[in-house]
């Protein structure tokens, strides 16, 4: 059976580790990487030097930097949205294949701000991922429809409330509903505690044939603080779609 695509989240710490981590993700068979600085702050926009290292070390299409100008909530001012637009342009200029962002206020996606960001990304040929700010929405059914209307390519979610600490395994019922609703219109990226041991059980409970699905991993592919190519490969193998 075919496999769902695996994305590896990579934190930018020092240049040597970043190069090794991107190479390990590539060698392990990851389809894409999400590149972030300051993982202790849930991930911020990487710098130009980070993107250049990642682009050299992960030569296949699938370099997706985070676009997040500060830590904290996902309610950004007009000035911050302008900065995010500049960061999208920077990412495109350094060879990124897509960008990852989210804007939420009081449990609702901020349509006007998101239109600005989606337009900036599309103008540069970048794929777009709405990150796990999706889990901070009050109405996920309406949220998917709004993001599809805006032209999102991917939506990352654990199926559990943002900040709860729960994993995708805990959110399987909602994930199944979201995949069914999304169908072929937008890719659902499973995120939150994804590892080789749990992924087959999770996939077995989801309506994979009815939607576009991939999976995103971070901590479960690390050995110490470094991405382990063997753990990435094990996760890629575990991502075989169950019969």
Q: What one-character DSSP code corresponds to residue 205?
A: T
| Measured distance CA(182)–CA(178) in Å, rounded | 6
Which residues, at least 6 apart from 209, have a Cβ–Cβ distance to it below 8 Å?
none
How many C-beta neighbours within 10 Å does residue 234 have?
Answer: 19
In this predicted model, what pLDDT tens digit does every residue of 148-164 receive, in sequence order?
999 999 999 999 999 89
Model confidence at 34, pLDDT cuts 50, 70, 90, reads very high
Q: Is pLDDT above 80 for 241?
A: no
Q: Is pLDDT above 90 for 243?
A: no
Question: Where are the domains positioned within the chain?
Answer: 5-238
In this predicted model, what pLDDT tens digit does every residue of 163-196 receive, in sequence order?
898 999 999 999 999 999 999 999 999 999 999 9
Residue 133 near residue 152, CB atoms below 8 Å: no
Write phi, then psi, for 54 (nearest 5 degrees). Answer: -65, -40
Q: What is the CATH architecture of 5-238?
A: Alpha-Beta Barrel (3.20)
In this predicted model, what pLDDT tens digit does every residue of 48-88 receive, in sequence order?
999 999 999 999 999 999 999 999 999 999 999 999 999 99
Write phi, then psi, for 91 (nearest 5 degrees). Answer: -60, -45
Encoded tokens for 63? 């370099």
| Predicted model pTM | 0.96
- Strands (E) across the chain are located at 5-12, 32-37, 63-65, 98-101, 104-105, 108-109, 127-130, 154-157, 187-191, 212-217, 222-223, 226-227
**What's the whole-number mean pLDDT along residues 205-223?**
96
Encoded tokens for 150? 């805006």
| Measured distance CA(170)–CA(202) in Å, rounded | 9
Q: Label the pairing between strands 127-130 and 154-157.
A: parallel
- Of the candidates 108, 50, 126, 110, which has an alpha carbon nearest to the alpha carbon of residue 76? 110
């Amino acid at each position: 059976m075919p496999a769902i695509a695996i994305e590896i989240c990579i934190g930018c710490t020092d240049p040597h580790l970043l190069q090794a981590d991107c190479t390990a993700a590539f060698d392990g068979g990851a389809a894409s990487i999400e590149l972030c600085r300051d993982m202790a702050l849930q991930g911020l926009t990487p710098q130009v030097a980070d993107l250049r290292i990642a682009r050299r070390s992960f030569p296949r299409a699938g370099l997706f930097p985070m676009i997040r100008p500060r830590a904290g909530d996902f309610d950004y001012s007009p000035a911050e949205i302008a900065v995010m637009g500049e960061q999208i342009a920077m990412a495109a200029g350094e060879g990124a294949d897509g960008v990852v962002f989210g804007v939420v206020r009081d449990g609702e996606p901020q349509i006007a701000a998101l239109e600005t960001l989606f337009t900036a990304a599309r103008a540069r040929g970048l794929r777009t991922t709405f990150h796990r700010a999706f889990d901070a929405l009050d109405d996920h059914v309406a949220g998917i429809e709004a993001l599809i209307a805006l032209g999102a390519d991917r939506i990352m979610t654990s199926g559990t409330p943002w900040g709860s600490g729960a994993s995708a395994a805990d959110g399987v019922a909602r994930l199944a509903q979201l995949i069914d609703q999304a169908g072929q219109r937008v890719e659902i990226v499973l995120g939150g505690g994804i590892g080789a041991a749990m992924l087959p059980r999770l996939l077995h409970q989801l309506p994979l044939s009815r939607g576009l699905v991939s999976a995103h991993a971070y901590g479960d592919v690390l050995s110490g603080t470094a991405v382990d190519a063997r753990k990435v490969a094990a996760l890629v193998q575990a991502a075989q779609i169950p019969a």
